[in-house]
Structure 1
Amino acid sequence: MRIVFVFLFVAGLAAVGAITARAQDNAGQQAVATIIQNQLNAMAAGDRAKAYSYAAPFIQQKFQNPDIFMEMVTRGYAPLIAPQAVEFQRFEASGGLATQAVMLVARDGSAWMATYFMQQMEDGSWRIAGCQLEKLPGGAV
């Protein structure tokens, strides 16, 4: 009888741990999606400083001010500026790093997959540490 109780207790703890991990993943995914959406909104509004504020510190060091940052975005990541549609997809997190896949339709109607690389800061907030952009086959949507 005691073995059954110990087994049920351990199984219960494992279930609580799995639920807690899922809740943390959901909270992390929501926080990451909010940061990405906020940056997309800032870029669409032309708010360079706000868009820049969501970048990880090493990105801010590389692109030393909001104007330089937005020049880089305009040249290499134009589909991210005022997309017609945004859909958050696959999310993966491990430790203080995460990836978030985002399918979007650019202003010109072309379809893209953006994979965002996220870094968690010491205060628990998330920042964008990079983005890989891939045009989806099939042309315009």
Structure 2
Amino acid sequence: MKHIIFALCVVAGVAFGTPIRAQEEPIRAVISAQIEAFEADDLDAAFTYASPTIQRMFGTAQNFETMVKNGYPMVWRPGDLKFLALEERGGLLWQDVLVRDLQGALHILEYQMQQDDAGWKINGVTIRRATAGTA
């Protein structure tokens, strides 16, 4: 009986885990591309990776730039970054990214992702300071 339950759990894990895992690469590519655009000071390109909701909220790439520079300086000019888990939380996909800022402090950025006809977009980012042992 234990073997049957274990087998069912493995099958369920594979069946439900695969769709999320299949999204890791495209989601990570979007986040990486936006960060590369920030580093290149290509504000228009960076703004295209934001969801329509975020684009409406800020209106222009210049307003978006101001928000990112003031609220997310570790993304504007990251020292280093590492992708962590992609998880479903509350019916939404969240990509966690460990970022070391230029001063050496570690932060975990939780990217809320949204998919539309054009692909994946960033629909918000929550910052939390990384704890010791995270890296």
> Is residue 58 from structure 1 mapped to residue 70 from structure 2 by the alignment?
no
Structure 1 stretches of 4+ with a deviation exceeding 2 A read: 17-24, 93-97, 135-138
Give the TM-score taking structure 1 as reference length. 0.78
> Is residue 39 from structure 1 mapped to residue 25 from structure 2 by the alignment?
no
In structure 2, distance between residues paired with 1:45 and 1:20? 40
In structure 2, distance between residues paired with 1:136 and 1:22? 26
Give the TM-score taking structure 2 as reference length. 0.81
Does the CA-based 8 Å contact 1:96-1:119 persist in structure 2?
Answer: no
Structure 2 residue identity aligned to 1:128:
I
State the match for 1:126 in structure 2.
120
Does the CA-based 8 Å contact 1:29-1:91 persist in structure 2?
Answer: yes
Measure how far apart 1:67 and its partner are. 0.4
| Secondary structure at the counterpart of residue 46 of structure 1 | coil
In structure 1, distance between residues paired with 2:72 and 2:118? 27
How do 1:29-108 and structure 2 match up within 5 A? 29-93=24-88, 97-108=92-103
Measure how far apart 1:133 and its partner are. 1.0
State the match for 1:115 in structure 2.
110
State the match for 1:4 in structure 2.
none
Range 102-111 or range 67-76, more displaced: 102-111
| Secondary structure at the counterpart of residue 83 of structure 2 | strand
Measure how far apart 1:82 and its partner are. 2.2
In structure 1, distance between residues paired with 2:41 and 2:26? 23
Unaligned ranges ≥5, structure 2: 1-6
Per-residue CA deviation, residues 15-37 of structure 1 (Å, 9 max, x unaligned), is 4x864644432221111111111
| Secondary structure at the counterpart of residue 33 of structure 2 | helix
| Secondary structure at the counterpart of residue 129 of structure 1 | strand
Unaligned ranges ≥5, structure 1: 1-10
Number of equivalenced pairs? 127
Range 108-117 or range 17-26, more displaced: 17-26
